Amino acid sequence: MSLYRDTAVVLRVQKLGEADRIITLLTRRYGKVRAVAKGVRRTTSRFGARVEPFCHVDVQLYTGRTLDVITQVQTVDAFGVQIVEDYQRYTAACAVLETVDRLAAEEGEPVLRLYLLAVGALRALSGRDRDSSQVLDAFLLRAMSFAGWAPALVECARCGQAGPHAAFNVQAGGAVCPTCRPAGSVRPSALTLPLMEAMLHGDWDAAEAAAGPIRREASGLVAAHLQWYMERQLRSLPLVERTVPELIRERASEAALVGAAEGESGQPLN
C-alpha cells in the first residue's frame, strides 16, 4: 500500500454503492486523480462535507488497484460556503470546474499551472471583490493559454501582422487583418479586444472600467473561442448569467423597441 498526500480542488463527485462516492480531484503535484471516499454519504461520516465541489483540501490517499482511496481530508479553503449562496457565482464556478475537468484529460499528469488557475478563480469568486462574469472570462482566457488555444488579440492570427485589427474570427484563431480576414468574421467594438487582453494579463483596472455591452461582447467571443477549440459545449456555460440588474433593464428596453418596430412594419428586423 502506497500512501501519498497533496493539496487538491474537488472537481466532481459521483455516487458509488450505498454510502461511498467517487471524488475527482485536481491535485497540485499529481494532476487529476479519481479516488473513492468510503462512507461519506452516511450522516456519521467524518469528512463528507469536505469532499464537495469547490472545496480546496489537503488530502491523504493510498493507491488502490483501480481507484485510489481517500483516508484523510483537511479543509484548506472552504470556497463553496460563499459561492453557493450566489447563483451568478455558483454557475461561474461550475463552468470553471468543468473547464478544468476537460482540460486535465489525462489522470496522473501534473498540471500545476491549471491547478493554480483553478484555485485563483475560486478564491476570486468566493471573495466577491470582482464581477463573477469577468473572473470567469479571465480564467477561460488563461486556461486556453495553458492549453495552447489563446486567441490572438493584438497581432493577426494568420500572418502575425501587428495590430490592432478590427475583425475577429474564431476558426482563424482570433484577430485578423484585412488581408487575411475570412468570410464570416465578426467586427467587435474597438474596445472589446483590448478588454480581453486586459483580462488575459490581469489588468483589472482596465477590465473593470469597461461598459456592460463591451463586457457582454467579450464574454461571447471568449465562450465561442473556447468551445470551438474544445470541440464541445460546456454544459454549465449557458447557465451563467452574465448580466447585472441595470443591464437586464437595458436588454428589456431594447427588446421593447425591437418589438415596437416590428409591429409598425409587420416585418422582423435583421
pLDDT tens digit string along 5-37?
999 999 988 888 788 889 999 999 999 999 988
At residue 14's C-alpha, the angle toward residues 9 and 16, to 5°, is 130
186 close to 124: Cβ distance less than 8 angstroms? no
Region of poorest pLDDT, from 44-53, 93-102, 179-188: 44-53
Secondary structure class of 39 (helix, strand, coil) = coil
CATH number of the domain at 3-80, out of 2.40.50.140, 3.40.50.300, 2.60.40.10, 1.10.8.50? 2.40.50.140
CA-CA distance, 27 to 61, in Å (whole number)? Answer: 11
Residue type, 42: R
Question: pLDDT band at residue 250, thresholds of 50, 70 and 90?
Answer: very low
Please give the Cα distance from 98 to 101 (Å, whole number). Answer: 5
Q: What is the SS3 assignment for 163? A: coil
Residue 244 pLDDT > 70: no
Per-residue pLDDT at 262: 47
Confidence of residue 242 (pLDDT cuts 50, 70, 90): low
Enumerate the domain spans of the chain: 3-80, 130-261
Q: What angle do CA 36, 41, 47 make, to 5 degrees?
A: 70
pLDDT for the residue 246: 40
The pTM for the full model equals 0.81
Q: How far apart are CA 142 and CA 117, in angstroms?
A: 8
**CA-based max dimension of the chain:** 76
- In percent, how much of the chain has pLDDT > 70? 87
pLDDT at 202 exceeding the cut of 80? yes
Distance CA 77, CA 80 (A): 9
pLDDT at 44: 67
Q: In this predicted model, what pLDDT tens digit does every residue of 153-189 receive, in sequence order?
A: 988 888 888 878 888 988 888 899 888 888 888 898 8
Contact between residue 135 and residue 92 where contact means Cβ atoms under 8 Å apart: yes
DSSP 180-212: TPPTT-B---TTHHHHHHHHHHT-HHHHHTS-H
Total Cβ atoms within 10 A of residue 161: 15
Tell me which of 6-10, 133-137, 157-161, 240-244 is least confident: 240-244
List % helix, strand, coil for the chain (3-state, nearest 5).
45, 20, 35
Please state the rounded mean pLDDT for residues 127-155.
Answer: 89
CA 55 to CA 49: how far, in whole Å? 9
